[in-house]
């Protein structure tokens, strides 16, 4: 995206009116033609599955020598940072950060770069931000450069709950960027009552006014929690069962649509009454319509994390680690949290934010309490083959 | 090189850029996709070419409904676009004052000055559940009280019709505009009524435009996915939605390529049959 255009666009959107993910949706649709071409090219010429079998639990030691910071290539999702943070970073360290908002969808981004990664080439990026399950996939394939933690002392500020995920138990390769919750948004004026449970999605009174997310990790994940299962215990059978249930409800017309992030529009306009939604979106929608509710159902909800990682053969590894260190400073993290409205992984950011903007610091959706956190479960993790089976089954249900 | 020899070569030289374009941007990608459509395996386990025709079987058995739906929606939209565009083009060609013509033509293509996505998004607002259109239709009882337009087949077909209307209207206008008015006068002189003159003179002479317009509308409409995505639900998704998500989300390239080929084959056969019905010279006339 050329700079002047981006600037105008950002001024227009300015965080509040349009949520990040809504923007993502519009953007990704328009980028389809372009990225589609890229994906097709990637598909050319056959591929061989070279799973290097990276084991993220094994201790690694890596040294990235301190060098002068000249340049940094950072790929992230749209509207996922306060750009002032990057300007401050460049000023402080004297480099030039090339920040590109070219990740619109985990699968899509993966499709764009996987061919180069598989051939062992650099993708000319120092930091990319991917969701847990995609990080897991990249780690298994061995496409990720370890982080030299000596260059990231601020990593000590990482929330303990996020310190040892299954896919990277010692956080040797990844650091959380932001987390978010997947739960249920609803419009009490339309539903006429308070909701409390996942089953409320299937109340016949809401027929045709309900949307679910098209990623099975979100929609099927919620249904499985509603059955009283823990994410870590869920199997492919559970997922397929939940997808079948989604298919039935879709056939009946109960579910109006399976959405990416485009539910925000219909939810704001009142066409949609009950939506499976991301917390950050609802925070932003509530700014315009405080009546909208975000419900963490009694059965629990999902929490996911987008993680920074350094792809293989990075051009500027030390610069990447310096930036990771910078954004793990609670003052900087507070700035980012205030802008993006998702859950920050940095301890101390809340206290910093409370000084400037106490109202945001008290927002349960940005800084969930321990009580809320206790109800949250990670995404279900399946093997690669099983993930594929689930994705294909979900596609048959969503039709796209 | 002698002059006559150069004369002989000239047509080929003139054709060369076009042929090269076709070869690079159509033929090679198409052959490549044909190759991909016969792969087996998944990206994770490794994929290779091995004449895996079952991709076609699976694609057809899973998604034949989407293909039929796409053909029906596109046909309905083409018909609607024709019904709307013909009187419009007729008016501009025969009735509008010469000074007004350029303005009216500009108005037809004016929506194209904004992005396709923005235009389609606007229909979400127009057809919204609480919008005035739905409310007025509910008042007169066309739409049930708990009924809606958005997220129905009506919305998708409306969207396609709207988005492709200029592709129908402009060729119709061109062929109507070309008609020598004296032919119609001659018909009336020979005791044809206005309707007979219209039927026997105007419509046959407008056929190239009808042919071109319907192809220009129908073909892209079959492969469209934006309207179904924004205005429909999974029960309205078209084959374009499936191909798009197979390529970009599921990354099942072989089946996506197979579906693309099935679609291409169906359209080719359809166009061929259509050409047969309307006569082959019409196609070339239309192309001119």
Point out the least confidently predicted range of A188-197, A290-299, B38-47.
Answer: B38-47
The Cα of A314 is separated from the nearest Cα of chain B by a number of Å equal to 23
Residues of chain A positioned with their CB less than 8 A from the CB of B50: none
Residues of chain B positioned with their CB less than 8 A from the CB of A391: 249-250
Residue A144 scores a pLDDT above 80? yes
B140 occurs within a structural domain: yes
Q: Find the residue in B nearest to A253 (Cα).
A: B235
A54 occurs within a structural domain: no
State the pLDDT at residue B256: 93
Give pTM, 2 decimals.
Answer: 0.77
The Cα of A47 is separated from the nearest Cα of chain B by a number of Å equal to 6
Residues of chain A positioned with their CB less than 8 A from the CB of B121: 26
CB contact under 8 A, B247 and A39: yes
The Cα of A72 is separated from the nearest Cα of chain B by a number of Å equal to 28
Number of domains in chain A: 2
Q: Which residue has the higher pLDDT, A262 or A212?
A: A212
Q: Which residue has the higher pLDDT, A51 or B150?
A: B150
Which residue from B226, B235, B252 is facing A392, i.e. has the nearest CB? Answer: B252
State the pLDDT at residue B281: 58
CB contact under 8 A, A391 and B241: no
B105 occurs within a structural domain: yes
**Dihedral angle over CA of B34, B36, B38, B39, nearest 10:** 170
List of long-range contacts for B61-70, beta carbons under 8 Å, 24+ apart: B62/A396, B63/B239, B63/B242, B63/B259, B66/A399, B66/B237, B66/B238, B66/B239, B66/B241, B66/B242, B67/B239, B67/B262, B67/B263, B67/B266, B69/B236, B69/B237, B69/B238, B69/B239, B70/B222, B70/B223, B70/B238, B70/B239, B70/B240, B70/B263
CB contact under 8 A, B36 and A49: no
A341 and A284 housed in the same domain: no
A165 and A28 housed in the same domain: yes
Q: Which residue has the higher pLDDT, B46 or A19?
A: B46
A39 and A125 housed in the same domain: yes
> What DSSP letter does each residue of B208-241 carry, written as one string?
HHHHHHHHHHHHHHHH--HHHHHH--GGG--HHH
Which residue from A255, A256, A400 is facing B229, i.e. has the nearest CB? Answer: A400
Residue A383 scores a pLDDT above 90? no
> What DSSP letter does each residue of A221-277 carry, written as one string?
HHHHHHTT--GGG--HHHHHHHHHHHHHHHHHTSEEEEESSTHHHHHHHTS-SEEEE
The residues near A71 (Cβ < 8 Å, ≥ 6 apart) are: A95, A96, A97, A98, A315, A316, A319
A108 and A188 housed in the same domain: no
CB contact under 8 A, B246 and A397: no
Question: What is the count of residue pairs from A and B with beta carbons less than 8 Å apart?
Answer: 116
Residues of chain B positioned with their CB less than 8 A from the CB of A270: 128-130
Q: What does the pLDDT look like over A54-72, one tens digit per residue? A: 677 888 888 998 888 999 9
Q: For residue B194, give the CATH number of its domain.
A: 1.10.3720.10
A103 and A242 housed in the same domain: no
Task: Give the whole-number percent of chain A exceeding pLDDT 90.
Answer: 58
Average pLDDT, chain B: 89
Residues of chain A positioned with their CB less than 8 A from the CB of B60: none
Q: Find the residue in A nearest to B40 (Cα).
A: A46
A265 occurs within a structural domain: yes
Q: Find the residue in A nearest to B251 (Cα).
A: A111
Per-residue pLDDT band at A23 (split at 50, 70, 90): very low
The Cα of B247 is separated from the nearest Cα of chain A by a number of Å equal to 7
Name residue, tokens 């500020």: A157
Residues of chain A positioned with their CB less than 8 A from the CB of B243: none
A232 occurs within a structural domain: yes
Question: How large is the average pLDDT for residues A274-283?
Answer: 92
B80 occurs within a structural domain: yes
Average pLDDT, chain A: 85
B46 occurs within a structural domain: no
A170 and A191 housed in the same domain: no
Neighbour tally for A192: CB within 10 Å: 10
A369 occurs within a structural domain: no
A333 occurs within a structural domain: yes
Point out the least confidently predicted range of A122-136, A260-274, B21-35.
Answer: A260-274
Residue A232 scores a pLDDT above 90? no
Most confident of A8-12, A45-49, A315-319, B204-208: A315-319
The Cα of B261 is separated from the nearest Cα of chain A by a number of Å equal to 15
Name residue, tokens 């679910």: A212
Contact A302, A222 (CB under 8 A): yes
Q: For residue A85, give the CATH number of its domain.
A: 3.40.190.10
Q: Find the residue in B nearest to A190 (Cα).
A: B130
CB contact under 8 A, B237 and A396: no
Tokens encoding B161: 């019709």
A55 occurs within a structural domain: no
A288 and A384 housed in the same domain: yes
A231 and A274 housed in the same domain: yes
Per-residue pLDDT band at B142 (split at 50, 70, 90): confident
State the pLDDT at residue A25: 41
CB contact under 8 A, B128 and A271: yes
Number of domains in chain B: 1
Cα(A396)–Cα(A243) distance, rounded to whole angstroms? Answer: 10
Cα(A145)–Cα(A126) distance, rounded to whole angstroms? Answer: 10
Q: Find the residue in A nearest to B34 (Cα).
A: A44
State the pLDDT at residue A26: 42
Domain range for A273 = 180-302+379-398
Neighbour tally for B24: CB within 10 Å: 10
Per-residue pLDDT band at B151 (split at 50, 70, 90): confident
B20 occurs within a structural domain: no
Per-residue pLDDT band at B280 (split at 50, 70, 90): low
User: By C-alpha distance, which of A298, A283, A282, A276 is closest to A361?
Assistant: A283
Residue A40 scores a pLDDT above 50? no
CB contact under 8 A, A399 and B45: no
Q: Which residue in A38, A43, A50, A209 has the most chain B C-beta atoms within 10 A of its own C-beta, making it the best mutation to test that interface?
A: A43
Question: How large is the average pLDDT for residues B246-269?
Answer: 90
Q: Where are the alpha helices (DSSP H) in A303-383?
A: 317-327, 330-340, 349-356, 358-361, 370-374
State the pLDDT at residue A108: 82
Q: Which residue in B38, B234, B260 has the most chain A C-beta atoms within 10 A of its own C-beta, making it the best mutation to test that interface?
A: B234
CB contact under 8 A, B226 and A29: yes
A339 and A199 housed in the same domain: no
Point out the least confidently predicted range of A10-14, A194-198, A285-289, B269-273.
Answer: A10-14
A280 occurs within a structural domain: yes
Domain range for B166 = 53-287
Contact A238, A217 (CB under 8 A): no
CB contact under 8 A, B248 and A111: yes
Q: Where are the alpha helices (DSSP H) in chain A?
A: 3-13, 20-43, 83-93, 106-118, 132-141, 188-191, 216-226, 236-252, 263-269, 279-288, 317-327, 330-340, 349-356, 358-361, 370-374, 384-398
Q: Find the residue in A nearest to B233 (Cα).
A: A257
A367 occurs within a structural domain: no
A189 and A231 housed in the same domain: yes
Q: Which residue in B129, B225, B226 has the most chain A C-beta atoms within 10 A of its own C-beta, making it the best mutation to test that interface?
A: B129
Q: What does the pLDDT look like over A78-105, one tens digit per residue? A: 889 999 999 999 999 999 999 998 888 8
Q: What does the pLDDT look like over A337-358, one tens digit per residue? A: 988 999 999 999 999 999 988 9
Strand bridging mode A210-213 / A255-259: parallel
CB contact under 8 A, B229 and A397: no
**Which CA distances in Å does B130 have to A256, A341, A393, B146, B227?**
16, 29, 34, 11, 20
State the pLDDT at residue B155: 94
Distance of CA B228 to the CA centre of its chain: 14
CB contact under 8 A, A40 and B247: yes
B33 occurs within a structural domain: no
Q: Find the residue in A nearest to B45 (Cα).
A: A49
CB contact under 8 A, A392 and B45: no
Per-residue pLDDT band at B282 (split at 50, 70, 90): low
Which residue from A49, A114, A392 is facing B250, i.e. has the nearest CB? Answer: A392
Cα(A378)–Cα(A385) distance, rounded to whole angstroms? Answer: 20
Name residue, tokens 């061995």: A142
A213 and A345 housed in the same domain: no
State the pLDDT at residue B212: 92
A328 and A313 housed in the same domain: yes
Q: Which residue in A252, A271, A274, A289 has the most chain B C-beta atoms within 10 A of its own C-beta, making it the best mutation to test that interface?
A: A271
Cα(A197)–Cα(A344) distance, rounded to whole angstroms? Answer: 26
Residue B50 scores a pLDDT above 90? no
The Cα of A7 is separated from the nearest Cα of chain B by a number of Å equal to 19
B138 occurs within a structural domain: yes
State the pLDDT at residue A54: 63
The residues near A91 (Cβ < 8 Å, ≥ 6 apart) are: none
Distance of CA A211 to the CA centre of its chain: 19
């Amino acid at each position: 995206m050329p700079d002047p255009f981006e600037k105008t666009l950002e001024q227009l959107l300015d965080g509040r009116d349009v949520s990040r993910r809504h923007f993502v949706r519009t953007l990704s649709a328009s980028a389809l033609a372009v990225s589609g071409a890229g994906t097709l090219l990637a598909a050319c010429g056959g591929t061989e599955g070279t799973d290097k079998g990276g084991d993220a639990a094994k201790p690694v030691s890596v040294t990235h020598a301190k060098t002068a910071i000249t340049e940094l290539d950072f790929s992230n999702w749209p509207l996922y940072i306060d750009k002032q943070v990057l300007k401050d970073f460049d000023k402080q360290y004297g480099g030039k950060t090339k920040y590109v908002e070219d990740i619109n969808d985990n699968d899509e981004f993966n499709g764009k770069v996987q061919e180069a990664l598989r051939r062992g080439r650099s993708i000319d990026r120092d930091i990319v931000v991917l969701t847990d399950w995609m990080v897991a996939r990249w780690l298994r394939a061995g496409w990720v450069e370890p982080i030299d933690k000596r260059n990231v002392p601020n990593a000590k500020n990482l929330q303990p709950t996020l310190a040892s995920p299954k896919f990277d138990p010692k956080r040797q390769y990844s650091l959380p960027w932001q987390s978010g919750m997947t739960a249920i948004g609803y419009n009490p004026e339309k539903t006429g009552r308070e909701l409390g449970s996942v089953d409320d999605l299937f109340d016949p009174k809401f027929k045709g006014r309900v949307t679910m997310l098209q990623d099975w990790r979100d929609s099927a994940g919620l249904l499985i929690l509603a059955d009283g299962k823990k994410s870590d215990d869920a199997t492919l059978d559970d997922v397929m069962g939940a997808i079948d249930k989604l298919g039935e409800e879709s056939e009946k017309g109960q579910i109006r649509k399976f959405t990416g992030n485009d539910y925000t529009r219909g939810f704001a306009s009142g066409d949609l009454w009950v939506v499976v939604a991301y917390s950050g979106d609802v925070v932003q929608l509530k700014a315009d319509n405080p009546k909208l509710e975000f419900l963490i159902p009694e059965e629990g909800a999902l929490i996911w994390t987008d993680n920074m990682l350094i792809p293989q053969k990075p051009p500027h590894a030390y610069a990447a680690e310096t930036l990771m260190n910078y954004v793990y400073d609670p003052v900087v993290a507070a700035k980012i949290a205030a802008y993006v409205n998702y859950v920050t992984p940095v301890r101390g950011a809340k206290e910093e934010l409370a000084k400037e903007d106490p109202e945001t610091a008290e927002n349960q959706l940005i800084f969930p309490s321990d009580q809320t956190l206790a109800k949250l479960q990670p995404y279900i993790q399946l093997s690669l083959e099983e993930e594929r089976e689930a994705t294909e089954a979900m596609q048959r249900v969503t039709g796209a | 090189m002698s002059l006559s020899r150069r004369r002989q070569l000239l047509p080929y030289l003139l054709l060369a850029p076009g042929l090269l374009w076709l070869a690079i941007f159509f033929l090679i990608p198409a052959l490549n996709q044909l190759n991909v459509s016969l792969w087996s395996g998944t990206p994770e386990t490794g994929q290779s070419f091995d004449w895996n025709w079952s991709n076609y079987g699976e694609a057809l058995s899973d998604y034949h409904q989407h293909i039929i739906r796409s053909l029906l929606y596109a046909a309905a939209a083409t018909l609607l676009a024709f019904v709307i565009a013909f009187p419009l083009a007729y008016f501009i060609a025969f009735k509008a004052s010469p000074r007004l013509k350029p303005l009216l033509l500009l108005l037809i293509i004016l929506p194209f000055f904004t992005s396709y996505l923005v235009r389609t998004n606007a229909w979400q607002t127009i057809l919204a559940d609480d919008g005035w259109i739905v409310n007025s239709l509910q008042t007169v009882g066309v739409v049930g009280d708990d009924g809606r337009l958005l997220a129905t087949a009506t919305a998708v077909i409306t969207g396609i019709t709207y988005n492709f209307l200029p592709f129908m209207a402009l060729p119709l206008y061109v062929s109507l505009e070309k008609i020598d008015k004296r032919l119609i006068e001659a018909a009336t002189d020979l005791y044809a009524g206005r309707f007979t003159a219209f039927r026997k003179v105007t419509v046959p002479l407008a056929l190239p435009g009808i042919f071109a317009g319907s192809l220009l509308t129908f073909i892209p409409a079959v492969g469209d996915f934006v309207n179904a995505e924004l205005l429909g639900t999974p029960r309205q998704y078209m084959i374009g939605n499936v191909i798009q998500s197979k390529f970009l989300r599921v990354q099942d390239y072989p089946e996506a390529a197979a579906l693309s080929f099935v679609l291409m084959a169906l359209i080719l056969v359809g166009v061929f049959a259509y050409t047969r019905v309307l006569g082959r010279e019409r196609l070339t006339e239309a192309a001119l």
